[in-house]
Amino acid sequence: MEQDTRNIPEQEPTVLDLFKSVTKDWASFFNFVRSLWDARRREELNQALVLEASQPIVEMVVEPTRAVTFPWRAVIALFIALTAQALMEPPNRQWTLALALYFAAFGVGLWSYRTNEWHLPALPAAWQMSDPLTMRMIPLVLSVIFAAIAFVMFGEGYFRLINTAFWILSVALLAYSLWVKVPKPEPQPTPTFDETNFHKKWQKDGLFIAISDDAQFIWKWLRYILVIAAFGLAIFFRLYQLDTVPIEPFSDHAEKILDVYEVSLGDTHTFFERNTGREAIQMYWTLLVLNVFGTGFSFFSLKLGTVLLGILTLPFVYQLGKEYGNERVALFALFLFGIASWPNIISRIGLRFPLYPLFVAPTLLFLTRGLRTRNRNDFILAGIFLGLGLHGYSPFRMMPIFATIMFAIYFLHFKSKEERQQTFFWFLVIVIVSLFIFSPLLRYWLENPTNFGYRAFSRLGDVETALPGPAWQIFLSNLSKGLLMFNWDDGEIWVHSVTHRPALDLVTAALFLLGIVFLIVRYVRQRDWRDLTLLVSIPVLIMPSVLSLAYPGENPALNRAGGASVTAILIGALALDGLVSSFGSAMKRKVIAYALTLVMFSWVAYSNYDIVFNKFKDAYSLGAWNTSEMGRVVRDFGDKYGQTDTVWVVPYPYWVDTRLPGVWAGVPNRDFALFPERLPESLSFPAPKMFLFWNQDTETEKILRELYPNGELSRYTSAFTGKDFFIYLVEQ
């Protein structure tokens, strides 16, 4: 029988039909782009695409099936790995036995994996959503104009009120022109602080018993308390004994304090050329810190500023834990990173070192989140942090390369034309945003390429000295040493490490290697781009240290490899979460799992405390010169006589930096050096006068006695063994 269709209304095209018509081929896409200039049509299409984007498809997170028996294989793998790492700890190292035990731990760990005991936590769900590829044209055009004006005005190499205003306004307009309103999907049942749905239900005797709302409330606040406690402990580790660990500055600190002092006088450089060149963020940040806390132009101001930068890294590490795992991974990563000696020490030194991990963490976070959720706004934020990081510490120049590799990994894991087009568009977004922020430094680079690249090229090539061998051989040797730094040897640079010991503590180092193995296995099985990203991050982020080809003795260097501390400790946190999950949801086994975690955390805390506040403190004190004691003598002279213009420090090979006593004495802009051959020049100055010189400098003592026979010689007994110095006082 023929159907009567006369009264059936004609079906209108759906939003999906409209979207398909726009993206089905290149011709349709270009017609769509041209239609953007038709205001009415543009509004219709934007509304349609927003409606389409408002219902993104979210992939479900599936937790690995867990064994129902006690995870004895996982426990055995852990203890073998811990034993192996213990054999790599100085002073009694047994690397052959340690290597054999590590391979045994990997074997048992893989056995545990095959029997569904030890799995890494499931990666968060990915969104299946299209980017509308739209932008606000007027703000975009204005941002380009303002950026061009600022770029021209930055030619003098200074931050001024006008060029900085144009620069900031151009970045703000660019971000606004690209920003999109993307509604988030409903939360999915992903694993959070505990296994999937643990605080929704538990299993007992084959029955699911719902937990009350009160119990859910308790679990929620328990997570908050644990996170706050982890943050508090991390802050304690970062601030404790900051005045004495490290105790003395060295030459680089004198350069920084003088830079900060000159900024206070109006020398607002975009790049500071002193001491082979330095990026600007630390100078301005330190000036802010010393004004807020009233600490003056001092070594403590430098340390306080960089420690605060290290603390600012912690929230991003926590968010990375959630982005690559769940809330429990985030808590573990926060704890392990917050008290780890590696990021703690490089934050305490008072130099730019913590700026590397500080900007690696948010850049990686927003890149990963953007690629997972396909949210353009995350790429804008990633571009902002990428651009800012380039103003921080020169090893961060490796991060644009890592970001490019990360996009390439993502690009190769997806086959559809639409996904690859969107990936390329997002890559352009992060490049353009970061370039806008980098532009003041870019202008300096174009005007002064030698100064900008000198520090890097002096390590990479033969700018200062000839390479000690074929470049490829040095590179391979450096790379192997760099990869071994986490578990074996962190190098010989005493100013920012406890030399020739693993960069990570025993527990974190063992978890790191087990995590690497599980990441490799999971990537082979699942081919998720995020696993490959974490694996690749390790060799890429240590590359600023590895590429010290001219000075291979400077590799490994914890400061230049500091960005890798973020992902290395995150990998360890993932492994630990997998271990805890292997115990299942039975209450008795969960008690055992968390008791074991508590024991390991106590071990981690004790080890890192000992590394920083005992081993590093003592080793640094032996290597540093006692400029604080000299500064105290200079300050006492100034208090007694009302001036320090007639105080000099006589230089001696490999002795103190003669600018540092003045820093301690509150005179940050004077070099107190007066070389022995110039000592007669002091005769033109009226008394009182004071000369400080090294206790083995007999020539200076002879000259001073001839010039000032009525002078008084005394020996200052230092609190540091073997670092006494002489004081020659001339009062008349």
With a cut of 50, which residues of the chain have pLDDT below it? 1-16, 18-19, 22, 26, 29-30, 32-34, 36-54, 190-211
> Using an 8 Å Cβ cutoff, are 578 and 119 in contact?
yes
Quick one: pLDDT at residue 195? 43
In Å, what is the CA distance from 708 to each residue of 330, 352, 638, 703, 713? 67, 44, 21, 9, 11
Cross-strand bridge partners of residue 715: 726
Nearest 5 degrees, angle CA 725-CA 729-CA 731? 170
Helix spans in 642-697 (H): 660-664
Query: Which residues are within 8 A (CB) of 409 and not within 5 positions of it... i.e. 6 or more apart?
Result: 529, 532, 533, 536
In Å, what is the CA distance from 379 to each residue of 55, 203, 370? 21, 42, 6
How many Cα atoms sit within 13 Å of 512 on the Cβ side?
27
Write the pLDDT tens digit of every residue in 32-72: 444 543 443 444 444 444 444 445 655 556 566 666 789 99
Amino acid (1-letter code) at residue 480: S
Write the pLDDT tens digit of every residue in 116-157: 999 999 999 988 778 888 899 999 999 999 999 999 999 999
Tell me the residue length of the chain: 732
461 vs 483: CA distance, rounded Å: 22
356 vs 390: CA distance, rounded Å: 9
Query: Which residues are within 8 A (CB) of 715 and not within 5 positions of it... i.e. 6 or more apart?
Result: 695, 724, 725, 726, 727
* Pairing status of strand 712-716 against strand 127-128: unpaired
Quick one: pLDDT at residue 63? 61
DSSP assignments along 460-517, one per residue: HSSSSS--SS-HHHHHHHHHHHHHHTTTT---S-GGGS-TTS-SS-HHHHHHHHHHHH
Site of tokens 């100013």: 495
Please give the backbone phi and psi of residue 728, each rounded to the nearest 5 degrees, phi first.
-115, 110
Q: How far is CA 334 from the centre of its chain?
A: 13
109 vs 514: CA distance, rounded Å: 8
Quick one: pLDDT at residue 676? 96
Nearest 5 degrees, angle CA 43-CA 46-CA 48? 110
How many Cα atoms sit within 13 Å of 197 on the Cβ side?
12
Q: How far is CA 343 from the centre of its chain?
A: 8
603 vs 507: CA distance, rounded Å: 8
DSSP assignments along 572-630, one per residue: HHHHHHHHHHHT-S-HHHHHHHHHHHHHHHHHHHHHHHHIIIIIIHHHHHHHS--HHHH
441 vs 444: CA distance, rounded Å: 5
DSSP 206: T
Q: What residues does each domain of the chain span?
A: 118-128+180-622, 627-730
Task: Extract the tokens encoding 693.
Answer: 């010189």
DSSP 413: T
Task: Extract the tokens encoding 377.
Answer: 């706004």
Give the three-class secondary structure for 5.
coil
Quick one: pLDDT at residue 151? 97
Quick one: pLDDT at residue 415? 74
Query: Which residues are within 8 A (CB) of 311 and not within 5 positions of it... i.e. 6 or more apart?
Result: 234, 235, 238, 347
Quick one: pLDDT at residue 129? 79
If residue 272 lies in a helix (H) or strand (E), which one and from where to where? Answer: strand 271-272
- Compute the radius of gyration of the chain from its Cα atoms: 30
50 vs 440: CA distance, rounded Å: 36
pTM given for the model: 0.88
> What is the 3-class SS of 146-177, one letter each residue?
HHHHHHHHHHHCECCHHHHHHHHHHHHHHHHH
Task: Extract the tokens encoding 482.
Answer: 């760099």
Cross-strand bridge partners of residue 648: 691
Quick one: pLDDT at residue 219? 79
Indicate the burial class of 23 (C-beta count within 10 angstroms; 0-12, 13-18, 19 or more): middle
Nearest 5 degrees, angle CA 141-CA 143-CA 148? 100
**Which residue from 494, 492, 483 is spatially nearest to 542, judged by alpha carbons?**
483
> Using an 8 Å Cβ cutoff, are 307 and 532 in contact?
no
Give the three-class secondary structure for 582.
helix
Cross-strand bridge partners of residue 279: 271
505 vs 340: CA distance, rounded Å: 7
Quick one: pLDDT at residue 302? 98
